[in-house]
Structure 1
Amino acid sequence: MTSTLFLAGYAALVGVFAPRVLARARWTHRAPRLAVLAWYALMATFLVTVTLAAYHLVLREQHVHDGLVGLLSACGLFPVGSASHAAADPATLLPPALVVLLPAGWFLDRVWRTRRAQRRHVALLAVVGNPSADHDAVIVDHDTPAVYCLPGRYRQVVVTRAAIKVLSQEQLGAVLAHERAHIAGRHHLCHAMVDAFGRSFPGLPLARQAKGQVALLLEMAADDRALRLHSRENLAAAMCEVAAGRAPRAAFGAGGSSAAVRLHRLLVPAATPGRAARLGVVGGSLAALLVPLLIACGPFFG
């Protein structure tokens, strides 16, 4: 039971304490894409740890260590000796398989629901919207300035006429670049993965923190991509104008509740982390993922 206890403790560390530290880190807003990677590394680490803990608990630590084959056997990747009978029993693999299949099922459910909602909205836009070749977007008559996009298969950028009236050409170009960054980055899939993890582990601090943090970081990442071609002033001014606009379900909007935080980030820019810091975050994320494998497969925890 030694490995199972160590894995359970590590899962608690990753699922409860690590997200608090990452959420308070100051560098995340300066490197949003790197921070998203760190959040996904924590979620992947938690999944791997819980899966291995469930596998060890079912097998009651009946492992065979014999070189590389023994290592694979200890990890449940190769049936050898006494472990072969356990691996051959489907009931043995059911608990760890459920840990993996549950978030996978929720992910597919979220993608399907999002696609269905987008399909309905696209049908509505075909009636009330007017495609504009100049803006490469669909224009909708509405009194509220708003800009949003539908990612995925039905990718479209939507702009209200009120937004076109209040935004200059430079400001409109900046906010349109922000929305196209969501589409190019497939951010809807990123949201679907976080949502699936949260539904699989409701109440887990990691799931709660990741949902809000990743949503904000993806908006910042889209801002950064828009800044490659547009100025901070134009993007910030456009955000102020469309902040009150609400995006429909299954869409990304340029405004929203995170606009104030993003606006401050645009107007008070900070230096991005250096190469050493970035390599440290990537290395730490990989190391965190390797720890449960070392616990499960290492001879010191047998």
Structure 2
Amino acid sequence: MTVAPALFGYAALVGLLAPRALARARWPHRAPRLAVALWQGLALSFVTALVLAVHHLAAPGVHLHLLLTGRVHLCGTAHGAGLPAGTAWRLLIPAAAALLPAARLAGALLRTARHRRRHRALLDLVAVRDPALGAHVLDHPVPAAYCLPGWRPRIVLTRGALDLLTAPQLAAVLAHERAHVSGRHHLARAAADAFAAAFPYLPLARHAAREVPLLLEMAADDRAVRRHPRAALAAAVFRVAGGRAPHPAFGAGGTAALLRVRRLLHPAAAPHPALCAAAALTSAGAPVLPLLVTCGPLLL
């Protein structure tokens, strides 16, 4: 029973304290992809710790390990026949705790896929594909640029954006939207939204749902400025800032446009390599740490 309080304490640390420190840090905007990975690692670590803590409350002393031999090990004792009598039903409780975020994630992916499918069908009716741009052009005066990611992605530009943007600005915007598509940023965003839906009152979930979309926009900016001038992308973001993208899409403008423009025009140095290494190790190791807490001696 001593393992369960330790896991609940770890989950509280990850879910309550860690997100506030990470949200106040300045380095995530200088390494957005790494910051997204860290938010995801913390979320997975919280869910793992919570499920294992519930498991230890429901079935104290029962640790399941599926090893290469295919045998089930319970607290260091090998049982080739399986679980002791009367304990199997208790495993349904932690299974239910694990299914909640999994179901939320599946539901978020299905909903966004359905919205994108409907929007793609609408674009095929009202927009005109421009092969030279590799984008669909929507006859609308408000300048806007966005992409619909997924299996059949669409990059959408309004006629207002084409009339307003210069050639270098247009090329930078297209590179930004292609970065969203190639990076499969919609999966990270869906995971953050699903985590927030599963744990709406958890600071980690709220902060992740707010920070991850902005970090993904910054990551796409960083990808675009590898081949295009920063000033061109900053000007394009400012000019299309008033355009609204549909919810399942990634827009080049939006409410965070001013922050992104400032970041593009005044780039900061990358975080110290030691900080990057620590963040990478934390994002990779945090989901495993609850397993080591509860099952460390047996996994060695």
| TM-score normalized with structure 2 length | 0.91
Give 2:74's aligned residue: 73
Letter in 2 for 1:25: A
Which one has a larger percent helix, Structure 1 or Structure 2? Answer: 1
> Which secondary structure state, in structure 2, belongs to the residue aligned with residue 84 of structure 1?
coil
Q: Partners in 2 of 1:266 and 1:109 — Cα distance?
A: 35
> 1:88-140: CA deviations, max 9, x gaps?
62x22212212222222111211111121112112211221111011111111
- In the TM superposition, residue 86 of structure 1 has moved relative to its aligned partner by 5.9
Q: 1:146 to 1:97 in 2, by over 3 A?
A: same
**CA shift at 1:248, angstroms?**
1.5
1:44 matched to which residue of 2?
44
- Are 2:131 and 1:120 aligned? no
- Conserved in 2, the CA contact under 8 Å of 1:86 and 1:92? no
Distance 1:285 1:169, change over 3 A: same
Determine if the alignment matches structure 1 residue 53 to structure 2 residue 53: yes
Maintained 8 Å contact 2:135/2:156 = yes
CA distance in 2, matches of 1:86, 1:9: 30
Which stretches in structure 2 are left out of the alignment for 5+ residues?
none
| CA RMSD across the alignment | 2.6
How many residues are paired up?
Answer: 296
Contact 1:149 1:156 (8 Å CA) reproduced: yes
Distance in 1, matches of 2:116 and 2:287, equals: 35
The answer for unaligned runs of 5 or more in structure 1 is none
SS of the counterpart of 1:35? helix
Q: Please tell me the residue identity of whatever aligns with 2:3.
A: S
Q: Conserved in 2, the CA contact under 8 Å of 1:64 and 1:81? A: no
> What is the aligned partner in structure 1 of residue 19 from structure 2?
19
3-state SS in 1 of match to 2:287: helix
Q: Note the alpha carbon deviations across 1:39-70, whole angstroms, 9 max, x for none.
A: 011001101101110111111235699xx999
What corresponds to 2:164 in structure 1?
166
Q: Structure 2: how far apart are the matches of 1:139 and 1:149?
A: 12
> Structure 1 residues 120, 93: closer, same or farther in 2, change over 3 A?
same
After TM superposition, the structure 1 stretch with the greater mean CA deviation from structure 2, 29-38 or 54-63, is: 54-63
Cα distance between partner residues in 2 of 1:64 and 1:191:
32
* TM score, norm. by length of structure 1: 0.91
**Deviation per CA, 1:9-32, whole angstroms, max 9, x where unpaired?**
111000000000111111100000
Question: Would you identify which runs of 4 or more consecutive aligned residues in structure 1 move more than 6 Å?
Answer: 68-71
Tell me by how many angstroms 1:286 deviates. Answer: 3.4
